[in-house]
């Protein structure tokens, strides 16, 4: 074999190895990009752990963004908005689900409700479904939903919630723990959970 033929064969082998190596790197990068959550989405890793597809994560973020424009606050989880520094928050159901899932729930959360101990919780839907507002402070809170919803008073034992209309306190619950799975909020302007 001549030096020129040997040289061309060596060059061809090196080129083939370089191409194979480049292809392997590109394939690896493509597979890695498919497997990892979108870094442009806040809480993408949490969305991935919750089992959301990329499209569901986008839908969830659009919903959170819409609520942020309406109520303010700051996003603290893939489906949660902290409304103030007193512990008030808004928790949203994940796409395709009727009830909220607190992805960072403590053991003191009423199972399947998202309502933690010492909180008063209002749900936009009946049977503790839909968006969930949680308050733990003794302030008037504007009723965030209208029509029929539900609520849970999971504050300290005996703590009562006042339901106010345009004229003042119209009704009070019996005291914690108490709940109503089908509540008429059409007349409620605000609540005071204490």
How many angstroms separate the CA atoms of 170 and 164, rounded?
5
Is residue 164 within 8 Å of residue 191, measured between CB atoms?
yes
DSSP string, 95-143: TT-SS---TT--TTBPTTT--BTTEEEEEEETTTEEEEEEE-SSS-EE-
How many angstroms separate the CA atoms of 46 and 52, rounded?
9
What's the pTM? Answer: 0.75
CB atoms within 10 A of CB 176: 21
Using DSSP's 3-state secondary structure scheme, residue 36 falls into: coil
Per-residue pLDDT of the chain (194 residues; tens, 9 = 90+): 555 444 444 434 343 433 334 333 333 333 333 334 455 677 999 999 999 999 999 999 999 999 999 999 999 999 999 998 788 999 999 999 999 988 876 555 555 688 989 999 999 999 999 999 999 999 999 999 999 999 999 999 999 999 999 999 999 999 999 999 999 999 999 999 99
Using DSSP's 3-state secondary structure scheme, residue 187 falls into: coil
Q: Smallest Cα–Cα separation from 47: which of 63, 33, 61, 66? A: 61
């Amino acid at each position: 074999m001549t030096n020129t033929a040997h040289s061309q064969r060596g060059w061809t082998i090196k080129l083939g190895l370089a191409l194979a190596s480049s292809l392997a790197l590109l394939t690896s990068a493509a597979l890695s990009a498919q497997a990892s959550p979108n870094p442009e989405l806040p809480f993408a890793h949490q969305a991935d752990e919750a089992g959301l597809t990329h499209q569901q994560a986008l839908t969830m973020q659009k919903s959170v963004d819409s609520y942020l424009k309406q109520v303010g606050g700051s996003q603290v989880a893939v489906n949660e908005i902290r409304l103030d520094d007193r512990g008030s928050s808004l928790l949203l159901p994940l796409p395709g689900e009727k009830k909220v899932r607190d992805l960072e729930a403590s053991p003191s959360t009423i199972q399947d409700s998202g309502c933690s101990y010492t909180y008063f919780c209002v749900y936009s839907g009946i049977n503790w479904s839909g968006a969930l507002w949680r308050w733990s402070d003794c302030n008037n809170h504007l009723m965030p939903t209208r029509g029929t919803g539900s609520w849970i008073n999971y504050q300290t034992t005996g703590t009562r919630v006042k339901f106010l209309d345009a004229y003042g306190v119209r009704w009070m619950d019996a005291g914690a723990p108490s709940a109503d799975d089908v509540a008429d909020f059409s007349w409620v302007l605000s609540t005071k959970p204490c």
